[in-house]
Chain A
Amino acid sequence: MRLSFHVRVYITLRPSVLDPAGAAVTRNLQHLGYGVAEVRIGKYVEFTLEAMSETDATAQVEALCDQVLTNPVVETYRYDLLPAPVSAQS
């Protein structure tokens, strides 16, 4: 039986990579009086995935993150793998 998952991927720049957009937002927030420091801006990607098992789903998510969704040279990621909401079954 195929299982459905809901996947949330959080992508951020590696700490060693300069994030000029994050730096600009940091300065702006500080200018407004917020005690904010070290803003890092990333990406959020969500999708549904069908897989044979949770192990299979994990393998697929990591493969597609490494291959497509992120560039490992400059980015890292983490993800949540959730059971998809169960739809009405016949």
Chain B
Amino acid sequence: MTNNLKISYKNKSALKNLDYFSQNILLLSDMFEKYFKQNIVCHFQIQACEGFEFEIGNNFIATNILPSQYQNIYSSENNSIILRFFCNTSKRLSTKNINNFYTLLKKSANSPLFFVTPYENSHKEESSYVIDSKFEVRLHISHDGLDLNIFNYNEKKDFINSLFQQILSIFNNKSINNYNIYHENVNLSLPENKQKNNSFLDKEIIETIEKAKDFMNKGDCYLANLTSTIPLNEKTYFISMTHFITAWLKIKSRYGIYYHDMKVGLSCFSPERFIYSHDNKMTTEPIKGTLKSNSNIPTLSDAKAIWADKKEIYEHTLVVDLMRNDLNLVCQAGSVHVYRPFYARIAGKLIQMQSSILGTLKMDKTLGDCLEAMLPAGSISGTPKKRVCEIISQLENVKRGYYTGICGILEENGDFDSTILIRSVYKGERGVYCGVGAGITTLSNAKSEYEEFLIKLNSFLHAIESPV
């Protein structure tokens, strides 16, 4: 690897440097889009994890100190931002047979693989797909500056060298701050009848929530995530990569993931990691509980407000036990630990309650094995999962499609990361759509659940609608 570019620029934080380099990133994106058209995947991640630690006391078997055997799990992560552009991609697999998808992800790969799979009730409607690439342009942004590397998996050297020269010219251009990227003017809004606050909260939703509560009173389940997908006004239009990146630079969601071809598309602003593995140590970081701060940056009093909400704590407790159970399916007995439970993570103006559950993979367990054992993800289904999935299928009148599925990257060495597909726009068999949902428990109030729907929806949709 010889193509390396380093730009030192000290700033208060990696996020500030993301702003500082944003024009370069957009120019890069614009260039890549012209070169690779639909043969490119963006996978961005903000690794900084800021927020407030919950005081565990003697109330939970958990720790706020990373257990010693897991010291290395986050070692490749720090307070930086990683932007990965997988270029000259090709589809390795596109299938409605989920077993073929798992089988492929049980094997090792020669280059990182990008994978996407819908929620389980939609396996027969939407395809699971796996994409490989000929090379990768990886940007690493920290408070110190930017580091760009090209990883060649199977591309002609000459091409990479010439591309690198063009990349250099983008970063050497001092006057870029005045450069205006072309933007499509597009209105990706919800259909009008869904826009007004209370029309969305129609009788149907209240009835569905009440039905779910009936199941819970009878002991059939304790927590059910009920969702709905909504077709977008422009059924065939899918935003361009540069448009997506412009929106992401504004939203700065933990993950920013984009792919688009003739058949499928994904523009993902998800805050939630599903499973991550490094050196056979793994973690899952479920989110349950969202609160919108009245201040620009959430404060400790916002964190205290969410911890004081018993419904949120109970619901989150259920999800942590559920994810411990699911990790125990693929991890060595006794290795599963709860780390930083009920952490009030700052995500823009929102507080997201998040816990980490750590475990050591059993011998020879691969990404494919983990997905096969652990999907659908606990935080978007409920408990007990098997029964609750039957209830979800019965109560939800629209299939979820890609919404609440997962996507991620499998590295050549077997490490992986994955993201829950929420707060995203999808393109699939039914056109372009998005989804929203909320966890329903016996304590749920239809109106406040509905408000949570809206907070989540607004957290990304507005930014896509007006990117500039």
Q: Do the two shown chains form a genuine complex with each other? A: no
Residues of A within 8 A of B (CB): none
Residues of B within 8 A of A (CB): none
